[in-house]
Amino acid sequence: MEDLKVIYEDNHLLIVNKPGGLLVQGDKTGDESLLDQGKRYIKIKYGKPGDVFLGLPHRIDRVTSGLVILSRTSKCLTRMTDLFRNSAVKKTYVAAALFNKNIPVENTLTDYLLKNHEKNISRIITQNKLRKYPKAKEAKLSYKLLKKDGDIAMFEVKLFSGRPHQIRVQLANAGIPILGDLKYGSKRALGKYIALHARKLEFVHPVKAIPLILEADFPASFPWIKLKANQVHPNNIK
């Protein structure tokens, strides 16, 4: 029943490991989305008649792989959306890039980002130009080197805000363009995905009030295979 990789499921939530290249929600391309697959999964598995409700409290980019939370009821959707809005969900990503010996192996980045919706790209606005661009939003993350194999390095990234393309543009600006991300400076294409994976989510269940810690395996593709990413001890991802 589908290739949907379900990580957690109950009457309120459906949490899956999305492959890179798959839309989370349908757009003008008309391509099938994760939301389409999720609704079909619920309809078939539980014999649901008519339309299936499935809400999206958050999204990740099409080219990004990893954890996506889907809400099975409107009540859960409202509560889960509030958790994300109030930064009550801890988000850990892992990114792979060409190793750059000239950057710190661990750092916290704070920038101001402005999204160009027509071109679907974000850029950093420097402090001295913030008055000119009042819609720029503060973006903060931390990264640290997890491991290195030859010229490829794997970084843990923790998000403290949720801006469009935040990890991609902030890492690129810091000298760590993500492999495959041609939009933000990578010199190497990977096809329909980039080497950015939504690895871990931590939050309190919005209905059951129990703590959840969820992890998604890495794709069985380059560069994760080369880095043996799935063999990195979970204690390194905290």
Residues near 219 by beta carbon (within 8 Å), at least 6 away in sequence: 19, 20, 65, 193, 197
Flag whether pLDDT at 236 surpasses 70: no
Confidence band for 233, pLDDT divided at 50, 70 and 90:
low
Flag whether pLDDT at 132 surpasses 90: yes
Flag whether pLDDT at 238 surpasses 50: no
Query: Which residue(s) pair with 203 in the sheet?
Result: 212
| Segments making up each domain of the chain, as ranges | 6-236
- If you average pLDDT over residues 112-136, what whole number do you get? 93
Q: What pLDDT does residue 237 have? A: 45
Flag whether pLDDT at 234 surpasses 60: no
Report CA-CA distances (Å) from 227 to 64, 123, 232: 17, 30, 9
Q: What pLDDT does residue 81 have? A: 97
Confidence band for 186, pLDDT divided at 50, 70 and 90:
very high
- If you average pLDDT over residues 96-108, what whole number do you get? 94
Per the CB < 8 A criterion, the answer to whether 222 and 190 are in contact is yes
Using DSSP bridges, classify how beta strands 6-9 and 13-18 pair: parallel, antiparallel or unpaired. Answer: antiparallel
Confidence band for 28, pLDDT divided at 50, 70 and 90:
confident
Query: Regarding predicted confidence, which is higher, 49 or 69?
Result: 69
CATH ID of 6-236, from 3.40.50.170, 1.10.1040.10, 3.30.70.260, 3.30.2350.10: 3.30.2350.10
Per the CB < 8 A criterion, the answer to whether 71 and 57 are in contact is yes
Cα 90 from Cα 161, distance rounded (Å): 10
Q: What pLDDT does residue 30 have? A: 83
Strands, E, within the chain: which ranges?
A: 6-9, 13-18, 65-71, 90-98, 106-116, 121-124, 137-149, 152-159, 196-204, 211-215
- If you average pLDDT over residues 175-200, what whole number do you get? 95
- If you average pLDDT over residues 195-220, what whole number do you get? 97
Cα 66 from Cα 70, distance rounded (Å): 13
Q: What pLDDT does residue 14 have? A: 98
Q: What pLDDT does residue 49 have? A: 85
Residue (of 36, 55, 33, 40) closest to 1 by Cα position: 40
Q: What pLDDT does residue 106 have? A: 97
Cα 198 from Cα 191, distance rounded (Å): 18
Residue (of 231, 208, 227) closest to 95 by Cα position: 227
Per the CB < 8 A criterion, the answer to whether 170 and 111 are in contact is yes
- If you average pLDDT over residues 177-201, what whole number do you get? 96
Q: What pLDDT does residue 29 have? A: 82
- If you average pLDDT over residues 19-43, what whole number do you get? 92
Flag whether pLDDT at 94 surpasses 90: yes
